[in-house]
Amino acid sequence: MSQTRSVPSTPDADPASALHALVLASLDDDQALETVSIPLSGKSSLADFMVIASGRSTRQVASMAQKLAERIKRDFGVSSRVEGLPNADWVLIDAGDVIVHLFRPEVRSFYNLERMWAFGDAPPAPAAPTTAD
């Protein structure tokens, strides 16, 4: 089991960047697939960053979402809004300055949020892996 990396907190640190770093570290620790970060600062007033990642199954998506919400609460004292956890096909975590979308690969490919929000800066979402029967 990997240990969660602590994000250093200094008075001069940008809170949005520190939260973004925690999100990326947490998803990396939980073996998220194809993590993409889209900077929204200056493009949208919703948040400073949007992070999109995939899990191999609904179980992994739900686990990543729960752990991430707990880590944000522990390290930043912020209760994130979490939606979609019961089905865990697409879970949205709104942590204020950072919005996180966690998907199963097929659902991510269908909605292709990277293309919608990248404003031409990022390639389309990778295709969902195929399995041979």
Residue 2 lies in a domain: no
Residue 57 lies in a domain: yes
Instruction: State both tokens at 56.
Output: 């191999």
pLDDT, tens digit, for every residue of 27-59?
Answer: 999 999 999 999 988 888 889 999 999 999 999
Predicted pLDDT of residue 116 = 82
Range of 46's domain? 15-117
Predicted pLDDT of residue 115 = 84
CATH number for 94: 3.30.460.10
Q: What is the pTM of this model?
A: 0.79
Residue 9 lies in a domain: no
Predicted pLDDT of residue 13 = 65
Predicted pLDDT of residue 43 = 80
C-beta separation of 80 from 93 below 8 A: yes
Task: Cite the beta strand spans of the chain per DSSP E.
Answer: 33-39, 49-54, 81-83, 90-94, 98-103
Q: How many domains does the chain have?
A: 1
Predicted pLDDT of residue 79 = 94
Residue 3 lies in a domain: no
C-beta separation of 24 from 116 below 8 A: no
Q: What is the mean pLDDT of residues 6-21?
A: 71
Distance separating alpha carbons of residues 96 and 119, to the nearest angstrom: 21
